[in-house]
């Protein structure tokens, strides 16, 4: 496993009141994303454990783009990756934010 960590300034804070959300599964070409409200409102931390070694630069680009474009502030994001492609990663991150922002019932 390769471990990567990012701590980024987030322009927008995640909405909603759910304390956590999880999307995806760990499988070949897939990943799980766990989102928790555990960072300052203007920060987003992302910790990744990935089965595919040597893709640090790709992860860097994907997570920076995600934090810049979505409301990721206040989130601690943890990822277990089974070797997903960047577009799948971006999709799961977006799904994760959508899920943690869903109204509670």
Partner 1 sequence: MTTAKADNVSLSWYEASARQRIDAFVDAGSFAELIGPELREMSPHLAIFDLPEQFDDGIVVGRGRLDGVPVLVAAQEGRFMGGAFGEVHGAKLTGLLRAARALHQDVLILFDTGGVRLQEANAGELAIAEIMRAVIEARRAGIHVLGLIGGRAGCYGGGSLIAGTCSRLIVSEQGRISVSGPEVIETNKGIEEFDSRDRALVWRTMGGKHRYLIGGADAFVDDEALAFRQAAIDALKTMRGCDVAVLEAEQKRLERRLQRFGEAADAVEIWQALGIDQPTGIPALPTAAFLRAASNRENADDAR
Residues 33-62 that bind partner 1 (CB under 8 A): 34, 36, 49-51
> 84: Cβ–Cβ under 8 A, 6 or more apart, which residues?
29, 30, 31, 92
The two three-digit tokens of residue 57, written as one number:
């630069």
- SS3 assignment, position 34: strand
Q: Binding segment for partner 1 among 3-11, 66-74, 76-84, 87-95 (CB under 8 A)?
A: 76-84
Does 16 participate in binding partner 1 (rule CB under 8 A)? no
Instruction: Among 8, 32, 46, 71, indicate the residue that binds partner 1 (CB under 8 A).
Output: 32
Other residues' Cβ atoms within 10 Å of the Cβ of residue 37: 18
Instruction: Among 15, 18, 82, 94, indicate the residue that binds partner 1 (CB under 8 A).
Output: 82
As a whole number of angstroms, the distance between CA 76 and CA 31 comes to 16
* Site residues, partner 1 (CB under 8 A): 1, 20, 22, 25-27, 30, 32, 34, 36, 49-51, 78, 80-82, 105
């Amino acid at each position: 496993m390769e471990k990567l960590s990012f701590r980024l300034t987030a322009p927008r804070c995640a909405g909603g009141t759910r304390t956590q959300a999880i999307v995806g599964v760990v499988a070949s070409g897939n990943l799980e994303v766990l989102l928790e409200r555990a960072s300052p409102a203007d920060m987003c931390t992302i910790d990744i454990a990935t089965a595919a070694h040597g893709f640090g630069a790709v992860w860097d680009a994907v997570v920076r783009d995600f934090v810049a474009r979505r409301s990721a502030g206040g989130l601690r994001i943890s990822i277990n990756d089974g070797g997903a492609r960047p577009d799948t990663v971006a999709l799961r991150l977006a799904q994760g934010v959508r899920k943690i922002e869903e109204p509670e019932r």
